[in-house]
Each structure stands twice: as C-alpha cells, then as structure tokens.
Amino acid sequence: MIMHLENKIMKAVLLISITLFTLTSCGKVTDFISGSSSEEAVVEQTVQEVEKPISVNAARVMKGPISSTIEVAGIVTTSNPVAVIGEATGTLKNFTLKVGDEVDIDQVIGRIDPSRPGMNYKMKDVTAPVSGTIVSVNTKEGSLVSPSGPLAYIQDLNDTKIKANIIEKYISFVQEGQKVEIRFDAFDDLVFDGWISSLDPTVNVQTRSLGVEIDFEDPDNRVLAGMYSDNTVIIKTIEDALLVPSTALFAKDNSFYVYVIENDRLKKTPVSKGLETYEYVQITEGLDENDVIVNTRSSLLGEGSFVSVQNEGAF
C-alpha cells in the first residue's frame, strides 16, 4: 500500500517538472502559477507561428468612372465618286488632270473643241461638278470625247464616315449622338473621337443587324477610305463609381463576394455589382472606399484565412 502511494507521488512530481520546464522555455512560468488569462494569448501566438500565411496581392477600393460599352467593327467610307462629263462631242484640250489632284467646284479643268473640218465652233469648258480629289482619269488630252463617257471621277475624301453593324440583341441600347471611341491598326496609340450620326430604318434580314454610320474627328486627314476600324460605343457612363478589379470578384450560385483583409485575416464579404468591363466592376453595395481586398485567385482562400500581402495599392 505504501509502495503504491509512493509511486503515485513520484509520477505527480515528474509531471509537474515537465510542465514547469515547458512553460519556462516559453517564458510563461509566472502566468502559469498565477493562473493569468494571458494563456489565451500564448495559444494564439503559437497557432500563428505554426500557421503559414497565404501570400496574396491586394487592391484598395477606389472611386472612378466606368462605362458600359459595345464593341463593333467598321470600315471607313466616303462620299460616292462624282463623274466629270463634257457637254459636247469633240477633241479634249487643256486637260492635264492626274489622280490625286485637288479641284474646286466649277473649276475649269479642260476644254472641248467641237469643230470639224470646214466648220469652226466655240470651245466648251469642262468644269468640276464638286470639290474634291481626282480618283480616276478615263481619258487624255487630244482624245475624242462625248457626253456619254465620263472624263474623270471626283471624290470628297475628307467626307469620311465609318459604317458598322450592331447585332440585333444590342439594337435597343444604341441611339444617335452616342459617343464612340475609334481605333485603327495603322495608328496604334491613337483614339479618335466619334459619334453615331445615323441608324438604318430597318434591320438587315440576312445578318440580323442594324447598320449605323459613325462620324469622327480627323483634323490631320490621316484616316483613309477603306481602312478597318475598331469602335467602342459608349452606352452609359458613371463618373463616380466604386470600383474593384474584375479579378477580385468571386461568384457562386448567382451571388458575388470579395475577400476583405482585416488584421491579416480574410472576411468573406457579399457584394452587389453594377456596370462592368473586362478590367473593372462597379460595386453598388457591400464595400466602402479604401477597403483593402484580395486581388489573387487561389483555391486556398476562405473565410478567416491568414494572409500575407505582397503587393498592395490602388489598381
């Protein structure tokens, strides 16, 4: 009986010694003896030392403009060529025009001599019917001409427009006067300002699209007829929207959320969205300006995840 009691005492002393040694190595003997509540802090510190943080990029929620847009392709066109017609049959004289020459309306560009052997007639002036550029010449000085054959064609190359087609499901969003941002492969860094000037009265039954014309500003006359254009039609713009990167928005079961970072922990926050582009999403509910959110895609993220921010800032 006495031997059994001694064994129990020895085991108890050994257990207390091990415990004191462990707490002494952590610098917490006093707390253990006094029964301080700081034991919880020790546990939390130990958990964080063991838990490895997830490295993430972050973005600060900002306010700024965002637009709803439609992307359409187009081609640059100009006014139809106008034929230069001589008003008499005879020999063409004083006609030196070549392709590319600029002419003004009513400018004399040649003369026709209707005289025949033994019969002299007054020469007839050939005038330009419109102002523009000579785009083709069909004859030359000294040739026999008549009113049935055009001498040349004139085109106003500065009266350029873009023709584009809006697919049927977007027709209700488009109207005259809407702003258009126009880009050309030939001018990589330039954006031309334009606007929708007219809409066709009916839908093309073959393509199921609506034809539109786009006027644009080109003060240096760099854009040439026949060029293809990429056109961004601005449907709606909000100037002071609350914005997050589209890569920061998560979706599940037709609902959306972001991860807000608070004290190195993630808070899964439901949000409502408004306008969106390829880069940004407008948040209408759930966030405040300057909130810091995760901008990293990872299957490791979740409510309460311990994170380490590698790159934080406005997007």
Least confident of 17-21, 188-192, 235-239, 278-282: 17-21
pLDDT confidence bin for 61, thresholds 50/70/90: very high
Does residue 131 contact residue 103 with C-beta atoms inside 8 Å? yes
Long-range contacts at 239-242 (CB < 8 A, ≥ 24 apart):
239/65, 240/63, 240/64, 240/65, 241/63, 241/64, 241/65, 241/66, 241/274, 241/275, 241/282, 242/61, 242/62, 242/63, 242/282, 242/283, 242/284, 242/287, 242/288, 242/289
Phi-psi region of 233 (alpha: psi -120 to 50; beta: other; left: phi over 0): beta
Does residue 231 contact residue 182 with C-beta atoms inside 8 Å? yes
Residue 45's pLDDT is: 57
pLDDT confidence bin for 275, thresholds 50/70/90: very high
Please report, rounded to a whole number, the percentage of residues in the chain having pLDDT higher than 70: 83
Alpha-carbon distance 177 to 305, whole Å?
A: 50
pLDDT, tens digit (0-9, with 9 covering 90-100), for 81-126: 999 999 999 999 999 999 999 999 999 999 999 998 888 899 999 9
- The residues, ordered by sequence, that sit 6+ positions from 32 with a Cβ below 8 Å of its Cβ are 19, 20, 23, 39
Residue 26 has pLDDT above 50, yes or no: no
Residue 178 has pLDDT above 90, yes or no: yes
Residue 208 has pLDDT above 90, yes or no: yes
The single-letter code of the amino acid at 253 is D
Residue 297 has pLDDT above 50, yes or no: yes
Mean pLDDT of 57-84: 94
Q: In angstroms, what CA-CA distances link 40 with 47, 50, 55, 155, 277? A: 11, 15, 26, 86, 47
Residue 34 has pLDDT above 70, yes or no: no
Alpha-carbon distance 34 to 153, whole Å?
A: 105
Residue 17 has pLDDT above 60, yes or no: no
Alpha-carbon distance 267 to 247, whole Å?
A: 17
Residue 15's pLDDT is: 46
Mean pLDDT of 270-274: 96
Q: What is the 3 state secondary structure string of 77-125?
A: ECCCCEEECCCCCEEEECCCCCCCCEECCCCEEEEEECCECCECCCCEE
CA geometry: angle 201, 162, 183, nearest 5 deg: 135
Mean residue pLDDT across the chain? 86
Question: Which pTM was predicted?
Answer: 0.63
User: How are beta strands 292-294 and 54-60 bridged, if at all?
Assistant: antiparallel
pLDDT confidence bin for 272, thresholds 50/70/90: very high
More confident: 120 or 21: 120
- The residues, ordered by sequence, that sit 6+ positions from 186 with a Cβ below 8 Å of its Cβ are 227
Residue 238 has pLDDT above 90, yes or no: yes
Tokens at residue 188, please?
């990589």
Residue 48's pLDDT is: 52
Residue 85's pLDDT is: 94
pLDDT confidence bin for 39, thresholds 50/70/90: low
Alpha-carbon distance 72 to 166, whole Å?
A: 7
- The residues, ordered by sequence, that sit 6+ positions from 275 with a Cβ below 8 Å of its Cβ are 66, 67, 68, 236, 238, 241, 281, 282
